[in-house]
Amino acid sequence: MKFLVFLGSVRNSTPPRPARLGERVALACLQQLQARFNAHAEEHSFELIDPLDYPLEPVFKPHFAYSKRQVPPLLDALAEKIRSADGYVMVSPEYNHSMSPALANLLNHFGSSLFSYKPSAIVTYSAGQWGGMRAAVGMRTFLSELGCLPVSAMVHLPKAQEVFAEDGSLMAGEDSERWQDYFGRTFDQLMWWADATHKQRQQVDPNSQIGVFSRSPSERNIL
């Protein structure tokens, strides 16, 4: 199966140092996923999606608002990755008790039909002591609306700059088994749901039963 790990920050500025703490958190997620599921390396791929690699137009125009021939190639390439993925890891900092606007902006560029009927895992972090918990609460609603239902366990990482080095590895003195257990609970749930929904999508195409909103909201809503 294929998984995308969305890095939710584009902030290359300080203070506080270091700039873009999210880079190390997203790399840590990738390392935890690869180590945990590496017995199945040929079956599973984990890809980092860095919003800095997808420069968006200054005026908001989602992927689905373009005519097919005019979609910017990078946006189209990301749409295809989202469509073909089986699950998502959403890594967000907490900005003013909310999810990262950079992550929300990137995700808003794609219709829920690309994300639907698959699971997601919420990973939040902060430089301070709460680990992005308040951002995570809002992310549940956001991701549910996108259709990639968040699994119940979540990862919250307070003072992430004291735990992860720039390459995502654990700093000296950290208990790696404890961290594996912590990430593992959420990522095992993600894998279980990804496997279940993958099989079910092959059995029954959800779009053959439940209409997709492509032209009018009436296609989706009963009333």
Ligand X SMILES: Cc1cc2nc3c(=O)[nH]c(=O)nc-3n(C[C@H](O)[C@H](O)[C@H](O)COP(=O)(O)O)c2cc1C
Instruction: Choose the stretch contacting ligand X; rule: CB under 6 A; options: 27-35, 38-46, 69-77, 120-128.
Output: 120-128
Q: Does 184 bind ligand X (CB under 6 A)?
A: no
Among 3, 4, 5, 22, contact with ligand X (rule: CB under 6 A): 22
86 binds ligand X per the rule CB under 6 A = no
Count of chain residues binding ligand X (CB under 6 A): 15
Neighbouring residues of 206: CB distance < 8 A, sequence distance ≥ 6: 116, 117
The distance of closest approach from Cβ of residue 140 to ligand X in the complex, given in angstroms and rounded to an integer, is 17
Q: Is 125 within 8 Å of 131 (Cβ atoms)?
A: yes
Given the rule CB under 6 A, which of 47-55, 121-129, 149-157, 210-218 is the region that contacts ligand X?
Answer: 121-129
Q: Which distant-in-sequence residues (6+ apart) come within 8 Å of 223 by Cβ?
A: none
Judged by beta carbon, residue 127 or residue 148, the one nearer ligand X is 127
Q: What is the DSSP letter of 57?
A: P
Count of other CB atoms within 10 angstroms of residue 91: 30
Any contact of residue 9 with ligand X (CB under 6 A)? yes
Decide if residue 128 touches ligand X (CB under 6 A).
yes
The piece of 40-48, 94-102, 108-116, 186-194 that touches ligand X (CB under 6 A) is 94-102
Give the Cβ contact number of residue 118 at 10 Å.
23
> Cβ of residue 184: shortest distance to ligand X, in angstroms?
23
The 10 Å Cβ neighbour count of residue 59 is 5
DSSP 83-118: HH-SEEEEEEEEETTEE-HHHHHHHHTS-HHHHTTE
Residues of this chain that interact with ligand X (CB under 6 A) are 9, 11, 16, 20-22, 93-97, 126-128, 130
